[in-house]
Amino acid sequence: METVQAVAEELRWDLNPEETQSWAEDQILYAFKTGDQTSASVSCALVEGKRVLMVNCVAALLPDKPQFAWEDWKDAMTLAEKLYGGFSEGELYQTISEQNIPESEIPPAGLDTPTGQEALNWEVELPSGYGRARWSISAGTVEKNFPSPVIRDWRMIFSISLYESREAYESMGAVS
């Protein structure tokens, strides 16, 4: 908990001890407020004897459609890097942010598909571990006007998951 608190203070994030939860001996979830409209959580676990760390950042009620920028997620990657350990400072952010921004994945329209949903995905293999990152947006409040809906606000999610290796990730059945 001291390490988590120290990293949170370094990032100027507030750790919310009341929302810290543990459902099993080898798993814990920490909750943070980041100072802007974003809340974050970190889940640390041992799955089949292998370490997994997941950081999820959520922003809601955004007035404009979000655009992706690596800089917006540097703190989330720094948090993941420091809590997982084994990385040199800035290694995770540097390596993953050098990748191209792919075309958005837009799911086919359907009854269960959120309006305006788009996603970007990356993966990175480093000596310290294997990582997967995902950024997605979807409409928040939607007015069902004919012939097309009116989007009143947006929500955005960024997540990064770290594993010991790609093989560990695959053996877990794609946890993230």
Share of the chain above pLDDT 70, in %: 98
Residue 4, H or E segment? helix 2-11
Q: What average pLDDT does the chain have?
A: 91
Q: 124: helix, coil or strand? A: strand
- pTM of the predicted model as reported, rounded to 2 decimal places: 0.89
- Return the pLDDT at 174: 55
Straight-line distance from the first to the last Cα atom of the chain, in angstroms, rounded to the nearest whole number: 23
CB 135 within 8 A of CB 120: yes
The pLDDT tens digits for 53-106 are: 999 999 999 999 999 999 999 999 999 999 999 999 999 999 999 999 999 998
Structure-derived torsion over alpha carbons of residues 8, 153, 116, 73, reported in degrees to the nearest 10: -20
The pLDDT tens digits for 151-167 are: 999 999 999 999 999 99
Distance separating alpha carbons of residues 158 and 49, to the nearest angstrom: 26
The pLDDT tens digits for 3-61 are: 999 999 999 999 998 898 998 888 999 999 987 778 999 999 998 889 999 999 999 99
Residue with tokens 């990175």: 124
